Amino acid sequence: MDGLPWEQRRWAILAVAMAVAMSSLDGSIANVALPTMAADLKVTPAQIVWVVNAVQIAMVATLLPLAALGEIVGHQRIYYGGLILFGIGAVGCAFAHSFEMLVFARLIQGLGSSGMMSVNSALIRFIWPRRILGRGVGVNAMVVSTGITMGPTVASIILSVAPWPWLFAVNIPFVVVALILSVRVLPRMPRAPHKFDFLGAVLAAGCMGLLVFALGSAARDQSLLATAGELAVSAICGVLLIRRQKDHPAPMIPVDLFKIPMFALSVMTAICSFATQGLAFVSLPFLLIGSLGRSQVETGFLITPWPVVVAIMAPIAGFLSDRYRVGLLGGIGLAILSCGMAMLATMPTDANVFDIGWRMALCGCGFGFFQSPNMKALLLSAPASRAGGASGMVATARLSGQTIGAALAAFCFSVGNGKGPVLALSIGVAFAAVGSAASFLRLRYSKDGPIVI
């Protein structure tokens, strides 16, 4: 099956886009209301951060197991289950009357988001014909960027007329519509004959979940011994999982796919790019407010050009990836991102709105020009039978990179002696440059089109 016919495809695109938009919006919409939630539920700022952390940990711990399960039971079924769990979590958040209940509901919501995002890329691969898959990837990237961009604005509008539980309640009708539409139009996916490894799933969850938890703990100045213990247990789980699934036809940590140079390099560039983004998005508010004297409201608007330009560039880059080599496009994009990060790191303290805006737009241009071609490379470099494993790695690389970037930014703040934001942005320059070099290296293995300059 090479994609769906147009009449069915357009509704399938809409169904998947609704789910991706809800998941992306949810990731940024709650951040704005954290102070209000803390005051209402009578908890400290450090405690209320778990409203965000619960979703991230639930997602990163279950992305690979759910992607593996999708190859066995059908990717569309994991997607349906993710939608349902996301809706149940939204209901729980809307009616939560205690901090503990809210965190538990957010864990369910995170598990639902993981179900949708773990198979999202696999669905795109089967919805869009191979010849125009880059366009499909570009549309998906545009939806993600738009959801992230609109999060703070949507949250502000809702909070101006209703209390914070409505931030979650608004998802419920969209979940219902997306579920009904998905059941009608999504294709049935091929199913692998092997059985699901439940013990392997536990080990995978322990490996990835503890890794992210340890990085977050290090960023919160947890004791070195405790952080080292968490990293050690994570490493043990990973080693045990790899040994257990040594001869498995579809291992959860896809070591079989990492033997494909194109796939391995694409994962590397993804982690580098999202680490750069994580470094930037954590450090930029501190730079703009602390060094440049901007207000919180101004800071939000000044950062906006980055995701807005990503949303504009993503479909353009996706279209180009159907004509030119992804290694070339991705390398150019990350080189632009590296230059943009360098411009931000060296920005004068008296920079005006235009000085800040064009630098943000340059970073967004580079990131958007990279994202769609790289996602296409990740999907097509893996066999169709391993679409689930590739899809899981797309989301895992994104979350891992963002977590690494945020942890490194926190480390820079602790050792930077007032220059932490600039140091973090400088490290981002290096990450983007390494990713650009790795992307150009893919030209040795790419056969998806001629180099045209």
- Measured CA to CA, the distance from residue 428 to residue 405 in angstroms comes to 8
Q: How far apart are CA 139 and CA 297, in angstroms?
A: 29
* pLDDT of 388 higher than 80: no
Interval 103-139: pLDDT, tens: 999 999 999 998 998 888 788 888 888 888 877 877 8
Q: Any idea which residue has 């939560």 for tokens? A: 96
What is the pLDDT, as a whole number, of residue 247?
79
Q: Does residue 453 surpass a pLDDT of 60?
A: no
For residue 452, the model assigns a pLDDT of 33
How far apart CA 440 and CA 330 sit, in angstroms, is 8
Q: Under a CB-based contact definition with an 8 Å cutoff, are residues 271 and 401 in contact? A: yes
Taking alpha carbons only, the member of 58, 57, 67 closest to residue 251 is: 67
Class of domain 1-197+248-252: mainly alpha
Can you give the residue ranges of every domain in the chain? 1-197+248-252, 253-453
pTM over 0.85: no
- Please say whether the beta carbons of 72 and 192 come within 8 A: yes
pLDDT digit string, tens, across residues 257-266: 888 889 999 9
Q: Is it true that 1-197+248-252 and 253-453 share their CATH fold?
A: yes
Distance CA 352, CA 354 (A): 6
Contact by Cβ (8 Å): 71, 192: yes
Q: What's the pLDDT band for 173 if we cut at 50, 70, 90? A: very high
| Start-to-end Cα distance in the chain | 33
How many angstroms separate the CA atoms of 4 and 21, rounded? 22
Averaged pLDDT score across all residues of the chain: 84
**pLDDT tens per residue across span 73-93:** 888 899 999 999 999 999 999
CA distance 240 to 234: 10
Give percent of the chain above pLDDT 90: 26
- Decide if pLDDT at 275 tops 80: yes
Average pLDDT, integer, range 149-164: 77
Using only the alpha carbons of the chain, give its radius of gyration: 21
Lowest average pLDDT, out of 87-101, 134-148, 165-179, 328-342, goes to 134-148
CA 111 from chain centre, in angstroms, equals 14
Domain 253-453 top-level CATH class: mainly alpha
